[in-house]
Structure 1
Amino acid sequence: MLPNYLKRELSILFFVINKKQTTADEISQSLNFSKRIVKENLLIINKHFTEYLSIENFILSKKTGIITVRPELRTNAVSYAYHLKLFLLKNNVLFNYCVLLVTSDTIEKSQILEKLFISPSYLHKLTQRLNTFFDPFDFKIIRANHLYSLEGNEMNIRLFTYLFLQDSFQDLEWPFPTISIESLHNKVPKELLEEAFKRPHTKNRTMDIISAVLQIRISKNHYVHPPKSIAIQTFFTLVQDSFDITVPFQKWYSSPIPETDKKVEIQYLNFLSHIFISDIVPKKEKIKLGKLFLGHDHSFCTLSRDILLSSIHIENFAVAKEHQYLCMYYLTFLNAFYFLVGNAIYPIISLFIPSPTFHLHIQSKYLTAITDKIAPIVDNVDHRTLIATALYTLFTSKKSAQIKIYLQMIKDFTASYFIENRLLSLYNPSSVIITDDYSLADIIVTDTLERGDPSKKVFYLDSVNNKESWQELIHLIQQSYLEQQGLQNEIN
């Protein structure tokens, strides 16, 4: 739906803000743009920040080739980026047309023309373009009696609407012109509103958007249909009977909705909530569901179990039962979601800027090994790629590196004891180790001149009471840990 130039600008912007520093080469290689395009777009992005947010030189490009966010802006860089993203989106007429369609059940042609400041012929062209974009989602814009509305696969209409609005507006603006947040909260039981105070503002806004979407669609009798697949139907029931997270939304399923439609509605919502608002599911419930899936004979569970058992021992490291259960939880839901939406899964993923972690473009021997292991089990190449990438993320999350530190404090004979205890209070002792063997050390901490092995990182700590030096040492340890962990993932 968005023009390529805008997707390119946003991709580069979010790449830069997610790095402490980067280079044009790294951006070019990671995003597959030429260095010339990268440099041109960095200038354009800075112009946008000046024009829309009155921020000069948001991104700095140094003579050394280092590219970074201006240091004093780094703390709020993500917020600035999302504000700019929304400004740019709202300057796009196709985006605005889409917002009008998804935030109301029907809208008059005259309203669209007035709000978008366009001609009827241009509206016709925009409608054709949007229908082409909506085609993989199996719904389209219907025109009848000068009224425009969305019709087709009801689940996909709701899913698209939620993802589109949540990713675009976040909690920066409320996108529904005819529904207020207050009116939604008035229908929520008092005890559930009290629970809202325990959640972050963005998560509450996410749940408000879901509630508004449900109100718009259900109030006009647009109900989801039961899945055609028996496997999906029975999996919905299995999940619903095990853990129901739809209580905050069930106010929209009161009479006069037929009971059979209500049951299907709640099962869909419960299933999709596990995927798209998964962090409201307590970890202990995910573990319980994963344990249930590991021993269940449902076809989605057996597929996930076969995938997990075939790939989990590529590495010779112990995998705790709890981690196996969590892997089963995520794998089974991802497999079920793939079978539910089919070819629409990649258009759905493409709605996110930047892409979600289970769809990162990664190249490593470890990922290749996972892909090869599950190939006999997962025939479809797209499905296999999706699952392999998810497994890579799940497995590498539990991989640990070891940073060995050699202490050489000559001026203060109590300093080594102090540093060791301070580091052990900050880090897991299996991850950061104080060693007496200089040859094994990754980092040398010293208070004097050290002309050692150039492959080792030497850190000068003049005093254990120097707060700035401590911060730099902690950063060096964390950086070394991540470098070593990344190297492991690449080699393995």
Structure 2
Amino acid sequence: MLINFLSKKKQRQLAILQSLFTNTTNGFPYLVKEFDITEVQLTHDIEDINKTVQTIAHQKLVDTSNKHNYTVNIDDIHLYQQLEFHYLNDSLTFQICSEIITHRHLPFNNLCDKLAISTSHCYRVLKQLNSILDQFNIVITIDQHTVPVFTGNEINIRVFIFSFVKYCFPRTNWPFPTISRAETISDFNLLSPNNKLAPSFAEEITLLLAVMKIRLSKSYFAEPMSEYVQTLLQKFVVSDYNTFKSLFFQKKMTDNNIIKVEFFYLNFFAHLLLPNLIEENHAISLGTIISHSHLSADIFVNKLTAKWQERFNLDLASDDLAKVKYFCLIFYVLAFHIHLNIIEILKSDATFLNDKRTINTAAMHDIRSFLTTTLPTIGHNNPCRDLPQDFAIDYFSNLFFFSTQTYKQQQVTIYMHFADYSVREFLKTKLKTIYTPLAVKTVDNINTADIILTDTFDIIVPNKKCIVIRNVFNPQELQTMLTAIDNSLFLSAKR
């Protein structure tokens, strides 16, 4: 998402840096050819990069002393993310979006004054912003009070806001000036006093609560839902309704239907962030409800799980098989039957769904092949019927793999040995953006690790997979690492 808010020029400059870090001695002619730009443009881009990095970090990033051999120091890779966020904060599209999201009431003219831009310029930027929002099926319009507001399905709006504040703000920055971070953390502790969460999980739940609070403060509520949908969603409830009501709704709010809808959605999205919270009895009872409904998804699940067992030799008892089936079915029905645009949040936060990346294993290809012939036969009630077929197949291939792994709750442990501490920290951050701690964990003891990542060929440990990474910006080396982790996660499901 972050890259969408940057100008083409800034995107190109970041791409040039990626190329330099991939091959730290890329020459001038090579870069001109790779990015199809003139020598003058490249010179200006490098000058801009160095000038900006000098401002934010007081050092030079790209060595241009030899015109035909530009170089960067691999030790400076941490500056890349700093430059990303600096460019982002300099983006007017980002600034306007941030102001609209984080303030309760900001009239259009006040927005223009605050950013010191003309109204015509602001309208042009809003048009650019709406092109980004199009993928979420929402839009920003000016209401009767001349306040820029989000228009569209309320859940879609919250999905976008959550993704925005999660990926476009540094972890150390709290994005909501009108919402107390400490109070929001306290709210979560009151809602779920028995949940002991890792800091990364607690942070995401806190952001989720803050997004809900700021939307409620503007009197925007989720759309009403049918009794059938309520029956589905109530299986995900892990917090106390009365506590929720007292924390987030004033006494004058008497419409319990609105409060219930908000309560159900909050618990559901909490499960998307923390899928291990789904208890097996919830999965089984919910699956029973769905399997006897008008949906013909039970045909899909029965075929799919049988194929899954046959292909991967899973030894599942009947109860276990039901749980695996219903994990998949829960997300299948809820994602599309209640018409939520939750694809982005699932891709971003579920264990194996990060951006557009898919698991690259023979197993996944087999599932995808099976789904290619299965999805079209589900029937006229197929929730995927309005989606591009390739997208639907990829989506459910990943979901089914994810649901099985979540049930098994296996974890791959990684030990890192690098001479440069910053490389280790960079890779740890990289892994956190792709996997949750439920799936991948870094450890300090080499003997307890499943995979060893290192920059030397000298480390040999019997029965341990060792991956040598000399350049963290080399796509091939990174893909080797990710494939090894993916395969280890998949194989763990057979233990």
Question: Paired residue for 1:460?
Answer: none
CA distance in 2, matches of 1:264, 1:123: 35
Question: Paired residue for 2:464?
Answer: 477
CA distance in 1, matches of 2:397, 2:177: 42
Change (3 A) 1:488 1:219: closer
Question: Paired residue for 2:57?
Answer: 53
Question: Paired residue for 1:252?
Answer: 248
1:317 aligns with 2:310: no
**Would you say the 8 A contact 1:371–1:388 is kept in 2?**
yes
Question: Paired residue for 1:159?
Answer: 159
**Would you say the 8 A contact 1:101–1:149 is kept in 2?**
yes
1:389 aligns with 2:398: yes
One-letter identity of the residue aligned with 2:101: V
CA distance in 2, matches of 1:424, 1:183: 40
Question: Paired residue for 2:261?
Answer: 264
CA distance in 1, matches of 2:303, 2:32: 38
Q: How far did 1:106 drift?
A: 2.6
**Would you say the 8 A contact 2:287–2:329 is kept in 1?**
no
For 1:377-433, what per-residue CA distance to the aligned partner results, in whole angstroms no more than 9, with x for missing partners? 3234122221113345667898999xxxxxxxxxxxxxxxxxxxxx996468xx99x
**Would you say the 8 A contact 1:89–1:95 is kept in 2?**
yes
Question: Paired residue for 1:148?
Answer: 148
1:336 aligns with 2:321: no
Question: Paired residue for 1:236?
Answer: 233
Change (3 A) 1:389 1:350: closer
One-letter identity of the residue aligned with 2:459: E
Question: Paired residue for 2:225?
Answer: 227
**Would you say the 8 A contact 1:226–1:233 is kept in 2?**
no
Question: Paired residue for 2:365?
Answer: 368
Q: How far did 1:165 drift?
A: 0.9
Question: Paired residue for 1:450?
Answer: none
Q: How far did 1:155 drift?
A: 1.6
Q: Any idea what SS the aligned residue of 2:225 has?
A: coil
Q: How far did 1:134 drift?
A: 2.9
Change (3 A) 1:340 1:473: same
CA distance in 2, matches of 1:193, 1:301: 33
Q: Any idea what SS the aligned residue of 1:140 has?
A: strand
1:105 aligns with 2:109: no
Change (3 A) 1:346 1:426: closer
Q: How far did 1:131 drift?
A: 3.1
CA distance in 2, matches of 1:133, 1:146: 22
Number of positions where the alignment pairs a residue of Structure 1 with one of Structure 2? 400
For 1:258-281, what per-residue CA distance to the aligned partner results, in whole angstroms no more than 9, with x for missing partners? 211111111111112211x216x5
Alignment of 1:349-368 (within 5 A): 356-357=353-354, 359-361=356-358, 365-368=362-365
Change (3 A) 1:202 1:364: closer
Alignment of 1:45-194 (within 5 A): 49-54=53-58, 56-57=60-61, 70-71=74-75, 77=78, 82-135=81-134, 136-184=136-184, 188=187
Higher mean alpha-carbon deviation, 116-125 vs 324-333, is at 324-333
Tell me the TM-score normalised to structure 2 length: 0.62
Question: Paired residue for 2:210?
Answer: 212
One-letter identity of the residue aligned with 2:130: N
Q: How far did 1:252 drift?
A: 0.8
For 1:297-349, what per-residue CA distance to the aligned partner results, in whole angstroms no more than 9, with x for missing partners? 25497367336414413534335569857754653343235305759455667
Change (3 A) 1:400 1:233: closer
CA distance in 1, matches of 2:240, 2:72: 41
One-letter identity of the residue aligned with 1:165: V
Change (3 A) 1:345 1:316: closer
CA distance in 2, matches of 1:174, 1:487: 32
Change (3 A) 1:148 1:10: same
Q: How far did 1:208 drift?
A: 3.3
Change (3 A) 1:202 1:270: same
**Would you say the 8 A contact 1:293–1:301 is kept in 2?**
no
Question: Paired residue for 1:2?
Answer: 5
CA distance in 1, matches of 2:343, 2:22: 28
Alignment of 1:429-444 (within 5 A): none
**Would you say the 8 A contact 1:304–1:332 is kept in 2?**
no
Change (3 A) 1:239 1:51: same
Higher mean alpha-carbon deviation, 199-208 vs 316-325, is at 316-325
Change (3 A) 1:307 1:123: farther
Change (3 A) 1:338 1:94: same
Q: How far did 1:52 drift?
A: 2.7
For 1:223-263, what per-residue CA distance to the aligned partner results, in whole angstroms no more than 9, with x for missing partners? 111236x65443213333xx448888551135333211111
Unmatched segments (≥5 aa) in structure 2: 25-30, 64-68, 377-383, 413-444, 469-479
Change (3 A) 1:368 1:47: farther
Q: Any idea what SS the aligned residue of 1:255 has?
A: coil
Change (3 A) 1:346 1:315: same
CA distance in 2, matches of 1:486, 1:166: 27
CA distance in 2, matches of 1:318, 1:189: 38
Change (3 A) 1:295 1:259: closer
One-letter identity of the residue aligned with 2:313: F
CA distance in 2, matches of 1:153, 1:310: 37
CA distance in 2, matches of 1:37, 1:152: 38
Q: Any idea what SS the aligned residue of 1:315 has?
A: helix
Q: How far did 1:217 drift?
A: 2.0
Alignment root-mean-square deviation, CA = 5.2
CA distance in 2, matches of 1:486, 1:137: 36
Question: Paired residue for 1:418?
Answer: none
Task: Select the structure with the greater relative contact order (CA < 8 A; seq sep ≥ 6).
Answer: 2
CA distance in 2, matches of 1:190, 1:210: 14
Unmatched segments (≥5 aa) in structure 1: 25-32, 60-64, 402-422, 433-467
Q: How far did 1:117 drift?
A: 1.8
**Would you say the 8 A contact 1:366–1:489 is kept in 2?**
no
Change (3 A) 1:483 1:103: closer
Q: How far did 1:156 drift?
A: 1.7
One-letter identity of the residue aligned with 2:94: F
One-letter identity of the residue aligned with 1:148: P
Tell me the TM-score normalised to structure 1 length: 0.63
Q: How far did 1:126 drift?
A: 1.9
For 1:132-173, what per-residue CA distance to the aligned partner results, in whole angstroms no more than 9, with x for missing partners? 433442343223243322233222222211221122114221
Identity %: 17
Change (3 A) 1:82 1:288: farther
One-letter identity of the residue aligned with 2:211: V
CA distance in 1, matches of 2:266, 2:59: 41
Change (3 A) 1:227 1:259: closer
Change (3 A) 1:176 1:16: farther
